[in-house]
Each structure stands twice: as structure tokens, then as C-alpha cells.
Amino acid sequence: MVVSAEMCCFCFDVLYCHLYGYQPPRSPRFTNDPYPLFVTWKIGRDKRLRGCIGTFSAMNLHSGLREYTLTSALKDSRFPPMTRDELPRLFCSVSLLTNFEDVCDYMDWEVGIHGIRIEFINEKGSKRTATYLPEVAKEQGWDHIQTIDSLLRKGGYKAPITNEFRKTIKLTRYRSEKMTMSYTEYLAHRQHHHFQNGIGHPLPPYNHYS
């Protein structure tokens, strides 16, 4: 596994510094190898989605996580930009994407194992793409068809969805390594590693969020 708790910590650092106006955190110690990556934020006990954006182009992890931490927290068009008040209730997930395979049949992937990315031509003749990470279909209780149809709608396809149309989809399946951390775990982790890491910002005070 390449993905690590430190990566989630770093994302929290980046968001925390941005929201409080501190200098961005220094470069972390984990690998800076290039990977396609996604940063997902969820909020509250029921872990509602709060933002999820990433890239299928391999990016060096240090700059990629910096960029997509803020993009997913502030610029996901489905949600308003994140605020300081929400920090204590957040969960951060980092997904590193691997094992990309183009498949001929849109049904040739496994729920809960593969993420899928589809490319299709919409009713106006434009090429569109959309993706779900591996956990989405399983969490929603969807089968293959429900997942594909939901993904088409996510990608902006408005016309009725027929089986003939599904067969025109170009589908890529992939896997991901995923790590998730809550804000509470982040605070505990930072408290523990504060001195050896030399973080460039003061730790969030515990009592403020109790």
C-alpha cells in the first residue's frame, strides 16, 4: 500500500491552513511519486458527501494532494465552499488510483472492487465523461445497470437510457488504494507527531472543538 494516514493528515493541514489564513504546510515526508488521485470529504455522523474531486492524470502526490484538497473542499459545484465551522465534523479520504483497464463490455467490472470511468456521446453530440470510485456503487446498494445509469445522469445525459445506448459507452475500470481519517483522529495524530514534524502552523486547540 502506498496510501497512508499521513496523506489524510496533510490534506487536513492544507485545508486548516487555508481556512485560518496560515502559511501552507511544508512538503510532507511521504513519497512524491505520481498517481491519479481523488480527495473526498464527508461530514457528520452519517458521513454525507461534502466534496469529491480528483484527476485521472498522474500527479506528484505532494502538489496533487495540495491542489485537490482545496478543489474538492471549495470548488465542488454540488456544494457551497467549506467553512471553518465544519472542520470538526469532517472525514477526509485519499484515493490513489491504479490498475486501469479498458474493457469492451460495459458490464465487465465488479461492484465494490472496481471504480469505473465512462466516456459517452450525449444527446447533443458532445463527448462527456463521469466516474465513480470503487466504494460508491457498494455504498449505494446499486447493481451494474443502476451504477451505469446514475453515472450517465451525473455526466449530464438527459435522454432516456436504453440498452442500445449503454452498449455505446466506452468504459475503463480501475482499482484504488484508500485511506480515511476523521478530524478527531487528525488532531490526535498531529498532537503525537507535532514536534518531529515541525508543522508550520499552531495546532488547533482541543477545547475549542470539544
Of 101, 123, 76, 113, nearest to 170 (Cα)? Answer: 101
Residue position matching grid coordinates 508543522: 199
The per-residue pLDDT for range 12-34, each reduced to its tens digit, is 999 999 999 999 999 999 999 99
DSSP state of 177: E
Give me the residues paired with residue 55 across strands. 37
The per-residue pLDDT for range 97-141, each reduced to its tens digit, is 999 999 999 999 999 999 999 999 999 999 999 999 999 999 999
Q: How far is CA 89 from CA 4, 12, 62, in A?
A: 21, 12, 25
**Is residue 207 scored above 70 in pLDDT?**
no
Q: Give 8: exposed, middle or buried? Use CB within 10 Å, 0-12, 13-18, 19+.
A: buried
Provide the residue type at 169 as one letter.
I
**Is residue 198 scored above 60 in pLDDT?**
no
C-alpha cell of residue 115: 471504480
For 207, other C-beta atoms within 10 Å of its C-beta total: 5
- Mean pLDDT for 51-63 is 97
Task: Please give the CATH number for the structural domain made up of 5-98+176-197.
Answer: 3.30.700.20
- Mean pLDDT for 60-77 is 98
Q: What 3-state class would DSSP assign to 151?
A: helix
Find all residues with CB under 8 Å of 104, minimum gap 6, and list them.
none
8 Å CB contact between 11 and 62: no
Portions of the chain given CATH number 3.30.700.20 = 5-98+176-197
Q: Give the pLDDT score at 191.
A: 82
Q: Give the pLDDT score at 190.
A: 85
Contacts 24+ apart (CB under 8 A), 133-137: 133/38, 133/40, 133/52, 133/95, 133/176, 133/178, 134/174, 134/175, 134/176, 134/178, 135/178, 137/111, 137/112
DSSP state of 128: E
Q: Give the pLDDT score at 202.
A: 62
